């Protein structure tokens, strides 16, 4: 038996009776990946206006006596409605559908039928599966490639048929009806019972389908094919929008275009060229900055070595710099008798540091305050992605210097903080 939502996709509310209500749990997953288990009830109605998930189409949302329905699933010939409030069996209830969500699904699903039929008719591109996504929908085509020219031809054809206002009809056929053999389809569910539901776009396509559809292609308004992506082995994914989604996409795109026009100080037709110029300038500046930073590292190293205050401990911190900057300084100084502690990055955030010098000193000092944060690269070099408290490090270094015979005659040299 077809549900009320299948018999009349445009119905927005109706009255029915509660058949049963049992405790249940709903496993959910947010867009951020967070999983949650909700306690509630599975409610079965005599009939339903809320479409249960199936045929590639997500389920409807809505209310039963103003109680939110969080999920609708099919179980045989029944639909289970998950609510967090119980409903008494035998009670007459008012069911309302979330019309914005429902109509969006109708537009995308009927749009998929139309694209599938046209792609097959024009180029023999068979649809193997499809997905009605939250923001865009995807049709998987049984072909390793689909050209831009083919995509453009499909888009032109489907929009011509929308302008022709072709009617869409829903019929039910018995399994032994000879017409079933002429109907497009990818098989029936294992628990299917009763007649077969067939959705027909006049003079275009007949397809087995359980979903909700528009009654005329004019309700699709427009279809925009955004392009293709590589799919599974020897498959191509065709991405499309239908109806109101196209308008929302245009609104977002126009907003981005206006923002870029203000930022780039040029018209939309010059955006690409302006961004290319900015990228080239940025690459040149990064290259020049890197060269200057290398020269600065060499200069700093030579200044330290030639300083009259040259001693056994060198500590130096700079906000700008990278691991190469520190390695150049360490290599240029290159003294086996100098304990070198270098840091780069924001003092209040993450950064890099390097501890180098006599193996005995590094192996003694390193584990005292660095080992929990990383691994020893080599006997005389510690290099990590997080800055410890710098003054605490200097205290460790100074204490070690005074306690070690090899540094007992050295003086402490501190760089900028």
190 pLDDT band (50/70/90 cuts)? low
Alpha-carbon distance of 115 to 261, in angstroms, equals 35
Query: What is the pLDDT, as a whole number, of residue 316?
Result: 86
Q: What does the block give as tokens for 70?
A: 């969080």
3-state secondary structure of 355: strand
Regarding predicted confidence, which is higher, 403 or 206? Answer: 206
187 pLDDT band (50/70/90 cuts)? low
Q: For residue 262, give the H/E element and its range.
A: helix 244-264
Contact criterion met (CB below 8 Å) for 104 and 86: no
**Is CATH 3.40.1350.10 the right assignment for the domain spanning 4-97?**
no
Largest CA distance in the chain: 103
| HSE of 196, CA atoms in CB hemisphere, 13 A | 23
Strands (E), 231-303: 236-242
**Helices 359-369, 390-403: inter-axial angle, 10-degree rounding:** 140
Q: For residue 46, give the H/E element and its range.
A: none
DSSP per-residue codes, 167-213: BEEEEEE-TT-GGGGGSB-S---TT--SPEEEEEETTTEEEE--S--
pLDDT at 406 over 50: no
194 pLDDT band (50/70/90 cuts)? low
Regarding predicted confidence, which is higher, 378 or 142? Answer: 142
Calculate what percentage of the chain has a pLDDT beyond 90.
62
Pick the CATH number of 103-251 from 1.20.1530.20, 3.40.50.2300, 3.40.50.620, 3.30.980.10: 3.30.980.10
Mean pLDDT, range 55-70, rounded to an integer: 96
At residue 54, φ and ψ (nearest 5 deg) are 170, 155
* CA distances for 402 relative to 125, 313, 386, 398, 414, angstroms: 80, 11, 27, 6, 16
Q: What does the block give as tokens for 237?
A: 């994914």
CATH number of 288-414: 3.10.310
pLDDT at 298 over 50: yes
Q: Taking the domains of the chain in order of start, what are their residue ranges?
A: 4-97, 103-251, 288-414
């Amino acid at each position: 038996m077809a549900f009320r939502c299948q018999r009349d996709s445009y119905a927005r509310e109706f009255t029915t009776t509660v058949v049963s209500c049992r405790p249940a749990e709903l496993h959910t997953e947010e867009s951020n990946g967070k999983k949650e288990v909700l306690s509630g009830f599975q409610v079965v109605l005599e009939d339903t206006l809320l479409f249960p998930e199936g045929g590639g189409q997500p389920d409807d949302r809505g209310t039963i006596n103003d109680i939110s329905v969080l999920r609708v699933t099919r179980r045989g010939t029944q639909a289970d409605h998950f609510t967090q409030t119980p409903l008494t069996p035998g009670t007459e209830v008012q069911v309302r559908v979330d019309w914005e969500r429902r109509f969006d699904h109708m537009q995308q699903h009927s749009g998929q039928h139309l694209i599938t039929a046209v792609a097959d008719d024009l180029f023999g591109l068979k649809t193997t599966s499809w997905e009605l996504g939250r923001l865009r929908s995807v049709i998987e085509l049984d072909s390793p490639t689909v050209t831009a020219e083919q995509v453009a031809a499909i888009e032109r054809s489907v929009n011509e048929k929308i302008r022709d206002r072709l009617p869409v009809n829903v019929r039910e056929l018995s399994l032994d009806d000879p017409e079933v053999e002429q109907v497009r389809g990818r098989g029936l569910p294992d628990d299917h019972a009763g007649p077969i539901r067939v959705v027909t776009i006049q003079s275009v396509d007949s397809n087995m389908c359980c979903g909700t559809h528009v009654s005329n292609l004019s309700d699709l308004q427009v279809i925009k094919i955004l392009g293709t992506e590589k799919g599974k082995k020897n498959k191509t994914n065709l991405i499309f929008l239908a109806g109101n989604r196209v308008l929302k996409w245009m609104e977002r795109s126009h907003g981005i275009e206006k923002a870029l026009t203000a930022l780039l100080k040029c018209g939309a037709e010059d955006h690409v060229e302006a961004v290319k110029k900015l990228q080239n300038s940025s690459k040149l500046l990064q290259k020049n900055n890197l060269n200057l930073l290398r020269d600065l590292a060499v200069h700093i190293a030579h200044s330290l070595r030639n300083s009259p205050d040259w001693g056994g401990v060198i500590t130096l911190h700079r906000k700008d710099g990278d691991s190469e900057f520190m390695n150049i300084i360490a290599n240029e100084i290159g003294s086996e008798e100098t304990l070198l502690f270098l840091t780069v990055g924001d003092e209040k955030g993450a950064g890099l540091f390097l501890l180098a010098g006599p193996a005995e000193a590094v192996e003694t000092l390193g584990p005292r305050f660095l080992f929990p944060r990383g691994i020893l690269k080599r006997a005389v070099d510690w290099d990590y992605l997080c800055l410890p408290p710098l003054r605490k490090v200097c205290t460790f270094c100074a204490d070690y210097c005074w306690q070690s015979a090899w540094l007992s005659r050295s003086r402490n040299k501190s760089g900028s903080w």
